[in-house]
Amino acid sequence: MNGKRESRPARSLLTVALATCIALGAAPAMAQSTGATIRGHVMADSTPATDAVVTVVNTTTGLRRTARVGAGGNYAVAGLPPGTYRIEVQAAGQATSREITVQVGQTATLDLGVGGVAETATPGEATTLDAVQVVGTAVETRTSEVATYISNKQIESLPQNSRNFLAFADTVPGVQFITDASGNTRLRSGAQNANAVNVFIDGVGQKNYVTTGGISGQDTSRGNPFPQSAIGEYKVITQNYKAEYDQLSSAAVVAATRSGSNEFEGSFFWDRTHTSWRSRSRFEEREGATKAVSKQEQYGVSFGGPIIPDVAHFFIAYEAKEFSSPRTFNLGRGFGVGDLPADLQAQYGTGTYTSPFKEDLYFAKIDWAIGENHYFELTGKYRDESETIQVEGQRLPPAATLNTNEETRVDLRWQWTFGDWLNDAHITWEDAFWSPQPARFEPGYFLSDGNWWDTIVRSGGGDNYQDKGQKGWSFQDDLTFTGFTGHTVKMGIKYKRVDLETLEQNKYNPQFYYDIHESLTVPTHVEFGAPVAGYGDGTVTSGNKQLGLYIQDDWEVNERLTLNLGVRWDVESTPSYEDYVTPAEVVTALQNSNANLPNSGIDINDYISTGGNRDPDRNNWAPRFGFSYDINADQRHVVFGGAGRSYDRNLFDFLQNEISKGSWGQYTYDFNTPLHPCDTATSATCREWDPRYFDPEFLRASSVAGSREIFLNNNNLEVPYSDQYSLGMRNMFEAWGHDWNTEVMYSYVRSHDGIAFLLGNRRDDGLFFPPDPPGASDPPPWGIGFAPFSNLILAQNALETRTKAVYLKLEKPYTRNSGWGATLAYTWTDSEQNSPIDGWPGAFNAEFIEDYGWFPGKVPENRVVLTGIWDGPWGLTFSGKGVWSDATPRYYQNCNVSAWAFCHYDAYTPKEDFKQLDLAMEKVFDTGSNIALRIRFDVLNVFNWSNYSGYEDWRGGAGEPQNPLWGTPNAIALPTRTFKLGLGIDW
């Protein structure tokens, strides 16, 4: 096998196809989840205007829809792209018109009248008869959805470190946008991890089916999932989402992309910061420390306009980001750089390294309206990023990993309207792969302090070699009917055929360990990977099929009460899981192992697959109920709540281990050296040193075939889900001449059936822990009782969380008339999870998941986010964002006890809170020739507060004094105080 794999031909061809689409102006579709609805009543001379005709016209694109008023004077126009619409009403020979701005996925109530009847709309909006009246954005209060809208003004104005549009989602109660020490980002809601989130862009879910992160491309990435300049606005729904939302169990982000208008418009931006524009971190201020070189540069262009005015438009966007981020080396075991051999000293250099990152994002879109009844969109996105990771701590540059992310999405949509019917149909294609591989294909080098696990420093080729992703197509059709008075009925179907692929050949580069006290050229130990003859090479492919059905009724019972009633059902077939046959030698080993003893607590038949005893989980019925009660029927004081269930999905990266680990084994040899003797006659893994072992092929040819780990999935795996309950109240009030919106809500969420990997090994008596001393919890029985294999790892549904929370939201929306806007989001959270798992779900230190007990969730107890925007004098715009939260609990193994046998997992909360204040100022220069110049200054972390991303979690050994450094910070989260300059041109 060659060191580096050839690229997939299918992906290369698809990239060419996408480039062609972009050249033609292609791009993703909008389904009903992003389409807005305008509804209400039309009155003529104090009676329902049953003969009225309502026409809505988009003021920038000319998109036109017409609806006839029903028997009770009701009207509804659904599936509207967010934007400003002119509402024209004709009844009994009279006419009136209004303008209203609707947001993504919003249902706006607008009552109209002709012939002397007063019109009503969202409180605070002016009304006028028989004339056009421009009004503000409608505020949605009569809904059970717990949703917050992020406007285009907020996206463009608020300060942020990186142009990731999801960074503004943390202005929503209950949501965190997390950036780790390496700059990788993820979105999280409540106590569930990032995997439970889904993002819908123009109605198309961006779910990651293979690896972690919730959405494709967000596993170990500093990149953005979508060009920010192509996002018009979005909303974040934390609870009570309707039945059309699938493949999630926490928050849903619903975004709408920008479209071209009847005017040619464009924009260019560039922003930058570098080493001298940021403050030293607390660790860089230490004596002798070097300030690492860093740089952030982002640039891009977007433009759009008419192809045929009022009929067809195009929009194209490109964004790039180039980061150089500081990384710091820390040698292990108390050694200094002078203790290293000369070649490692040269690699260590000044003790810092600059990690490069590069991303290119492309987006293009064409919309085309044929009459009032047919509307088409063709959209496409291409993402390409590369990054050097895993160069810090004890890892020197040769041990780095090159990480690439490549993603293509294309979507064709057709929307058809006829009377009371609206049909949305679209076909999509996706191809997304995450591919870390070693920077060098050569043996790895670990320098250790005696024992091979006591690492001082590592160099040579890295051990991370993966290629994982998804590609396939889907068909989705959503049908809306508004012909029943007071009802908006939606129903839909989605079928998806997607190939899930993984290559996992970790330790493809053998990793050699050396004892600094013995030899720098003759290793004492090696770990390496090798294919298992007859079973493959660590690659897995599964042609998955997904089917989803739903029906939803939004029922206006009367002018006060609205009910949202829905149910959805989903099923997914995973052939690689369902058709898997447990190898005969593994079955024999299981039947003869200690895991088969009566007191082991394991029924091995639950994990032996015959290829016909596994089925998809078809019991995924998700009822969803919500209500809102408008106390005075004026949309100013509304009580709302809901209860519902939502199913996520099992990550393929968890399911595939059964095959990949069974076909790509990982092995170890010990070499017989003077300070590390072993007996080659009695130990199957002991070898006399031979320099030929440096050749990976020679090493793999000499592997010992029975010493690998075996992963097995439970035969009855179910899909993870959450049950959600909420009750709250919204209020609108006037203060200081402006309308303010408030919302307070109590939430309870219980999630179930997350996958965990447990150790299936048992001791000779079938027990997990020895009975003596009583209460012992360490060590687990690694390598015991599963000959000729090393360990038995069992995947099963086990993980749960439970979260109680109070959400408080206060908002004065930005309007041009007032020139300012402000938001406040406060979240109180009391959460728990039934294990100390943080990251990959390995729960190996307890016999059963129940033995862990409950741990505090990885969520701050209190969190406050404040934002503000103000249009100041001289064309200046000022904005700011402040975040304060309690520290997040941390998990650790506590061995600072009376004896090593009593080591156990515990939790603590660091003393340091999270605090950050960011400010921005922008000046626009109007040149008078339809070209505007922008200059912008951002100051991130104005007060240079230190926010930490890592702590010393080793409390000390058994019988030892407590480690004095336990609980102290050892890694800082950027940014320190950073100045950023931005320039732009709009035309």
CATH code, domain carrying 374: 2.40.170.20
- In percent, the amount of the chain with pLDDT more than 70 equals 94
With a cut of 80, say whether residue 706 has pLDDT above it. Answer: no
Give the bridge partners for 908, in sequence order.
890
According to the model, what pLDDT value does residue 137 have?
53
Which element (helix H / strand E) includes 755?
A: strand 738-759
Q: Last residue of some domain: 97, 118, 137?
A: 137
Write the DSSP symbol of residue 849: G
637 is a domain residue: yes
pLDDT computed for residue 115 by the predictor: 63
Could you report the per-residue pLDDT of 418-460, keeping only the tens digit for each? 988 999 998 999 999 999 999 999 999 999 998 888 899 999 9
- pLDDT score at 22: 35
Average pLDDT, the chain: 90
What is the pairing mode between strands 146-150 and 231-239?
Answer: antiparallel
485 and 343 part of one domain: yes
- pLDDT score recorded for residue 705: 59
pLDDT for res 2: 44
Strand partners, 352: 328
Report CA 541 to chain centroid distance, whole Å: 23
Calculate the alpha carbon distances from 644 to 429, 621, 748, 828 in Å.
30, 10, 11, 22
Q: Hey, what are 707's tokens?
A: 């010493």
The pair of three-digit structure tokens given for residue 328, joined into one six-digit string = 């710091």
Who's near 444: CB < 8 A, 6+ residues apart? 399, 458, 459, 460, 461, 462, 463, 509, 510, 511, 512
Task: Please report how many Cα atoms fall inside a 13 Å half-sphere around the Cα of residue 909, on the Cβ side.
Answer: 15
pLDDT top residue among 399 and 875: 399
Instruction: Tell me if 761 is assigned to some domain.
Output: yes
pLDDT of residue 854: 96
**Whether residues 725 and 587 fall in one domain:** yes
User: Nearest to residue 427, comparing CAs of 357, 377, 387?
Assistant: 377
How are beta strands 978-986 and 969-972 bridged, if at all? Answer: unpaired
Task: Kindly report, residue by residue over 173-213, the tens digit of the pLDDT.
Answer: 999 999 887 888 999 999 999 999 999 999 899 999 999 99
Q: How far apart are CA 371 and CA 466, in angstroms?
A: 50
pLDDT at residue 136 is higher than 80: no
Three-state DSSP class for residue 639: strand
The domain tally of the chain equals 2
Facing residues of 274 across strands? 295
Across 68-72, 104-108, 120-124, 481-485, least confident range: 120-124
446 and 584 assigned to the same domain: yes
Confidence of residue 142 (pLDDT cuts 50, 70, 90): confident
Q: Which whole number is the average pLDDT over 248-255? A: 95
Domain boundary among 116, 137, 158: 137
Please, which residues have CB within 8 angstroms of residue 490's CB and are 6 or more apart in sequence?
Answer: 32, 242, 243, 244, 478, 479, 480, 481, 550, 551, 552, 553, 554
Two tokens at 156?
């463009």
Q: List, for residues 804-821, the tens digit of each pLDDT value.
A: 999 999 999 998 889 999
CA-CA distance, 76 to 525, in Å (whole number)?
72
SS3 assignment for 453-513: CCEEEEEECCCCCEEEEEEEEEEEEEEEECCCCCEEEEEEEEEEEEEEEEEECCCCCCEEE
pLDDT at residue 24 greater than cutoff 50: no
Residue 657 near residue 711 (C-beta atoms within 8 A): yes
- What would the mean pLDDT of 655-665 be, rounded to a whole number? 95
* Spatial distance between the Cα atoms of 403 and 357, rounded to a whole number of angstroms: 9
Residue 681 is assigned to a structural domain of this protein: no
Predicted local confidence at residue 108, as pLDDT: 84
pLDDT at 127 over 70: no
Q: What is the pLDDT of residues 594-644, one digit of tens each?
A: 999 988 999 999 999 999 999 999 999 999 999 999 999 988 999 999 999
| pLDDT value for 872 | 93
Contact between residue 866 and residue 173 where contact means Cβ atoms under 8 Å apart:
no
Whether residue 699 is contained in a domain is answered as no
Q: Which uninterrupted H or E stretch holds 908? A: strand 904-908
- Strand order across the beta sheet in which 511-515 lies: 455-460, 444-448, 511-515, 525-531, 664-671, 686-687
Give the integer Cα–Cα distance in Å for 951 and 964.
13
80 within some domain: yes
* Mean pLDDT of the region 252-268: 94
User: Residue 670: inside a domain, yes or no?
Assistant: no
**Side chain identity at 268, as an amino acid letter?**
F
Q: Which of 137, 163, 192 is the last residue of a domain?
A: 137
Host domain of residue 44: 36-137
Spatial distance between the Cα atoms of 36 and 34, rounded to a whole number of angstroms = 6
**CATH number of the domain where residue 76 is located:** 2.60.40.10
So what's the pLDDT on residue 527? 95
Query: What is the distance between the alpha carbons of residues 179 and 169, in angstroms, rounded to a whole number?
Result: 13
- Whole-Å CA distances, 206 to 225, 248, 470: 9, 11, 11
Residue 675 belongs to a domain: no
Residue 850 buriedness (CB in 10 A; 0-12 / 13-18 / 19+): exposed
| 348/495 same-domain check | yes
List of residues 6+ apart from 711 with CB closer than 8 A: 657, 658, 661, 662, 757, 793, 794, 795
DSSP β-ladder status, 792-812 and 710-713: parallel
Which residue in 798, 793, 859, 887 sits closest to 834, CA to CA? 798
H or E segment to which residue 134 belongs: strand 134-137
Specify the higher pLDDT residue, 276 or 286: 276
Task: Give me the pLDDT at residue 138, please.
Answer: 60
Residue 150 lies in a domain: no
Around Cβ 779, how many Cβ atoms within 10 Å? 13
